Amino acid sequence: MSVRACSTGVLAILVGCGSATCEPLDTDCAPLYAATFDEVHENTLQTSCGLGGGTCHSSEGGAAGLVLDGGPDAAYGALVDGGLVDLEAPECSSILDRVDPVNPGNSMPPGDMLSETERCAIRQWVSAGALR
């Protein structure tokens, strides 16, 4: 069973669900840690995308203009204000297409996907309204 699916149009895959039809998130999973932004930031985003396991979204890398190592408030703003988290339609949040992609070739971080338990925590956080 897919944990999430968007329409299969190329544009939908590249930029997230956007105006595509999105299916409800499967949040019936066991997260690695509590599904709060602080936990997601500290245990996954910062370590896998910012300074820890990769530097793509560090202050030095800043891939796609996204910086995740400037502290939790800055990272939250970058995700929500930057449009990667859709507060009105969480199931259509672009961050989910990056970490839990319909097409695994588009997964972030590149190479090794996040563990299912990390992806579960992110899905649950987004589904619950991406609270700060």
- DSSP letter at 63 equals G
The confidence score (pLDDT) of residue 54 equals 63
Band of the pLDDT at 113, cuts 50, 70, 90?
Answer: confident
pLDDT of 118 over the 90 cut: yes
Q: The whole model's pTM is what?
A: 0.80
Best CA proximity match to 18, nearest among 123, 76, 89: 89
Q: How far apart are the C-alpha atoms of 63 and 115, rounded to whole Å?
A: 22
Interval 43-73: pLDDT, tens: 998 888 876 656 788 788 788 888 888 889 9
| More reliable by pLDDT, 87 or 102 | 87
User: Is 101 a residue whose pLDDT tops 80?
Assistant: no
pLDDT at 110 over 50: yes
In this predicted structure, the answer to whether residue 14 has a pLDDT above a threshold of 90 is: no
The DSSP output letter for 85 is: S
More confident residue, 9 or 84: 84
pLDDT of res. 109: 83
Cα–Cα distances in angstroms (integers) from residue 39 to residues 66, 103, 126, in the given order: 19, 26, 13
9 has a pLDDT exceeding 60 = no
Q: What mean pLDDT is predicted for residues 23-45?
A: 93
Average pLDDT over residues 34-48: 92
